[in-house]
Amino acid sequence: MYGFYATTKYLINVFYRPIYKKVEFTVLALKRDPNELAMEKSSLVVKISNQEDLNKITDKNKIPNDIDLEKFKVILDRSELLYLLIHGGYVCGYAVTQVNGLYRFGYDCEMVVSRMHVMFKNLYVSVNFRKKSFGNFLNISRVLDVKGNQIPLVFVTKDNRYAIKNWSKINFEEVATIKQKIYFSRKKINHIIFNKNIKDYPSLKSLLDEIR
């Protein structure tokens, strides 16, 4: 009987998927000035801001098969900051910080990154180098590079509790939930639910209200 219900649920989801989709994002913000945090940068992490510096790294270190070097070039072309973790002659992982421009997420959603905020995104550790805290090293390096008057933000899909837990370990807290509904792969409806602590981030509330 259980198999029947599971199969029926699966078929219903397959049928309705082209018509209706729903995705939720948890918005996290750093709740303290980075200069006040008892954290240290890892010597394994290198910040890259231009193609020349990237070439120096990739000439000396191997790129695992699951990391796309061309993606790095695209990131730098967008004037975003690229963080690489180097260990044992390999580029083991990377992360990105966006400091301006349009931040895109979900289904065709956009948000303007203001001078008061920075976006952390695209954290990835190569499969063969996981369970070594490399992702945490990349996150801490990004946090410590943020200017004191800026608020670092992260958008995480709500069901990714592992990522949310890791961010909370380095003083990030949940401040809002963005619910997105898509009908017929076109129409989107965004609904933002603010947590009570949003009062501590007045500039952030204004920023999220402008999502389109």
Cα separation, 80 vs 73, whole angstroms = 10
Model-level pTM?
Answer: 0.85
pLDDT class of 116 with cuts at 50, 70, 90: very high
Provide the pLDDT for residue 210. Answer: 86
From 3-7, 44-48, 101-105, 193-197, the region with the lowest mean pLDDT: 3-7
pLDDT class of 2 with cuts at 50, 70, 90: very low
Nearest to 95 by CA among 154, 52, 151, 51: 154
More confidently predicted of 200 and 36: 200
For range 6-16, the mean pLDDT: 52
Average pLDDT of the chain? 87
Task: Tell me the pairing of strands 20-30 and 151-157.
Answer: antiparallel
Do residues 150 and 157 make contact, with C-beta atoms less than 8 angstroms apart? no
